[in-house]
Structure 1
Amino acid sequence: MSAQSPVDTQAPLSNFNNCHVGIIQRLKALDELPALLEPAARARQIAEQSLEFFREAIFEHHLEEERELFPAVLASAEPGEEQLKIKAMATRLTDEHRSVEKLWKSLEKGLKQVIKGQASELDVSDLQRLVTEYQAHAHYEETEFLPLAEKILSRNSNHMAALGLSLHMRHVKPVNAYI
């Protein structure tokens, strides 16, 4: 008769104990999910609202400035130094518009991926550059160009009224003549 080796009666249980280590680690990671869902939803919301805003507001704003405001101020400026200054300022602001718009277009694909909850190729440094450049652009326009524009246009109330009417007409939706 041959001697049988003793059976390790604890071995099956230690296998079950080791399985739980991996399960517990995975559950700890899963427990983080609720805290991550809200920021992910917020990221999708910000991306979606930003896409709509840039299409509907920013590009339109640039167009209005370039077609209405800059020409009106330039036409009302006194010939010589003032007119040259306005022309230089308008050129700078227009160049900044193109720069920001180009940056924006490079970000659109990544933002659309964020909206869909997909892995995104969003260039964070370009996004930060867009924010920084636009803040600087807005600051220059509001502190330098617009006060001078107001001074120039307010010399003649007709010029300010013409600009106001022109801007108003751009925003009025056409009324159907056949009601």
Structure 2
Amino acid sequence: MPPSPPTTDKNAPLQDFSQCHAGILGKLDLLSQLPALLEPATRARIIAASALEFFREAIFEHHLDEERELFPAVLASAEKGEESERVEALARRLTDEHRELETAWKRLEPGLKRVAKGQDSGQDSELDVTDVEDLIRRYRAHAEFEEIEYLPLSQAILGRNASHLAALGLSLHMRHAPKRPATYI
């Protein structure tokens, strides 16, 4: 039997174009979701970059200020015996917490750098969110302990002698004063 002649459906070429549009419109619908997804990714990069800068420049410096200036000043002004033993124990605890928090930070830092560069997102993330949450929880507890236990005691001890507070203020000022280049006459 000879092959049947092709049918001449006049609408067939237009049907093909119509089918293409359905696929294109489906992909455009998917693309329309992209702006909403980019906003959180941009925010994540900004937050990660800000945290990287702040932790290195502010928090590490804060720990050094406490350990080099505040803790020794309070210990030097504390009354010998029970008070100085308490100050020493609190300073040791706070210093130990500083090292633990800094170590936790150093574990997070590579992942945060990747997020800040927009290289880390989704399920293959090197940034463990439980580690981030743990660092935040631990730092909040550290700061609360220091605010409730150590700083009021420091105020009481250093407040007994105005020159001790002034010396601490001057020492901190000198530590953070901008360095000027030497001028020669």
Q: TM-score, normalised by structure 2?
A: 0.86
Query: Any stretches of 5+ residues in structure 1 without a counterpart?
Result: none
Offset of 1:36 from its aligned partner? 1.9
RMSD across aligned C-alpha pairs, in angstroms?
Answer: 2.1
Q: How does 1:25-44 map to 2 (within 5 A)?
A: 25-44=26-45
Alpha-carbon distance in structure 1 between the residues aligned to 2:3 and 2:22 = 36
1:97 counterpart = 2:102: no
- Three-state SS of the structure 1 residue aligned to 2:119 is coil
Alpha-carbon distance in structure 1 between the residues aligned to 2:15 and 2:151 = 77
1:84 counterpart = 2:69: no
- 1:74–1:128: structure 2 CA closer, same or farther, 3 Å change rule? same
Q: How does 1:1-179 map to 2 (within 5 A)?
A: 2=2, 4=4, 7=7, 9=9, 18-119=19-120, 120-178=125-183
- 1:17–1:154: structure 2 CA closer, same or farther, 3 Å change rule? same
Percent identity, aligned pairs only?
Answer: 61
Deviates more, 1:18-27 or 1:66-75: 18-27
Deviates more, 1:2-11 or 1:118-127: 2-11
- Three-state SS of the structure 1 residue aligned to 2:178 is coil
- Three-state SS of the structure 1 residue aligned to 2:61 is helix
- Three-state SS of the structure 1 residue aligned to 2:127 is coil
Alpha-carbon distance in structure 1 between the residues aligned to 2:139 and 2:91 = 15
Query: Any stretches of 5+ residues in structure 2 without a counterpart?
Result: none
Offset of 1:108 from its aligned partner? 1.0
- Three-state SS of the structure 1 residue aligned to 2:181 is coil
Deviates more, 1:111-120 or 1:2-11: 2-11
Offset of 1:121 from its aligned partner? 1.1
Q: In the comparison of the two structures, how many residue pairs are matched? A: 179
Deviates more, 1:85-94 or 1:1-10: 1-10
Deviates more, 1:81-90 or 1:15-24: 15-24
